[in-house]
């Protein structure tokens, strides 16, 4: 009778599903922390670029931009506040936040506000289009960096995966339903919708999928379960 093949290490092209303590014990901690922080800061920068392009925002940011029309807070503060509201929705879904989840909830908003403070709104249309496109592309890279660091999902991504797991619906269906819901809510509050919203919806999935393999950090302390 043939013996089972030995357990092998995960390759650099695989993502592990780890709890907070396992994330810290998985190895390559300095590299992963730096990549996580860079990814989250760039995510906030990408949000700021799209705001200054003034041609539409990502679906969740349509909601954030609507909220600040009625509450005296900055856009970044709205991002942070909504992150923690979404994390409350994790509780009935039994999702477990990781280190990256909590840092995501804070750093993206802080980075977005810093970017908006440093960057003026563009006037020529060509500059606005450039900011919009740069924001979408940078968001794809930032997403790949923070996911590839293997420190857990962001609040909104975790809501999506938790709902998909609980309902049995596909991730694509759940994501579409969530994004339509937040866009409609944002529009009702006076949020910003435009060509950038459509470009983001169409491009962010393929962009992050294209960039993710090169950004996944191999975890030497985690073996394949097979």
pLDDT tens-digit readout, 76-89? 999 999 999 999 99
Over the chain, what is the mean pLDDT?
88
Length of the chain: 226
Q: State the pLDDT confidence band at 7, using cuts at 50, 70 and 90.
A: very low
pLDDT tens-digit readout, 40-79? 999 999 999 999 999 999 999 999 999 999 999 999 999 9
Model pTM score: 0.88
The per-residue pLDDT for 33 is 95
Domain extents for the chain?
20-215
- Write a three-state SS string for 145-210: HHHHCCCCCCHHHHHHHHHHHHHCCCHHHHHHHHHHHHHHHHHHCCCCCCHHHHHHHHHHHHHHHH
218 pLDDT higher than 60 = yes
Q: State the pLDDT confidence band at 1, using cuts at 50, 70 and 90.
A: very low
Q: What is the mean pLDDT of residues 188-195?
A: 92
Question: First vs last Cα of the chain: how many Å apart?
Answer: 18
């Amino acid at each position: 009778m043939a013996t089972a093949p030995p357990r092998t290490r995960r390759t650099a092209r695989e993502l592990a599903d780890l709890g907070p303590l396992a994330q810290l014990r998985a190895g390559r901690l300095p590299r992963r922390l730096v990549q996580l922080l860079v990814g989250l800061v760039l995510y906030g920068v990408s949000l700021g670029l799209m705001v200054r392009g003034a041609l539409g925002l990502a679906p969740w940011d349509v909601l954030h931009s609507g909220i600040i029309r009625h509450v005296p807070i900055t856009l970044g503060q709205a991002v942070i506040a909504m992150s923690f509201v979404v994390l409350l929705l994790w509780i009935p879904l039994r999702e477990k936040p990781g280190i990256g989840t909590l840092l995501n909830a804070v750093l993206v908003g802080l980075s977005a506000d810093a970017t908006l403070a440093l960057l003026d709104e563009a006037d020529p249309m060509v500059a606005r289009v450039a900011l919009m496109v740069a924001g979408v592309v940078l968001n794809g890279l930032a997403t790949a960096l923070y996911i590839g660091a293997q420190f857990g999902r962001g609040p909104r991504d975790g809501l999506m995966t938790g709902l998909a797991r609980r309902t049995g619906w596909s991730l694509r269906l759940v994501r579409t339903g969530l994004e339509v819901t937040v866009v409609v809510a944002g529009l009702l509050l006076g949020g910003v919708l435009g060509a950038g919203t459509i470009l983001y919806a169409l491009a962010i999935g393929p962009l992050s999928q294209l960039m993710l393999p090169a950004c996944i950090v191999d975890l030497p302390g985690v073996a394949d379960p097979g």
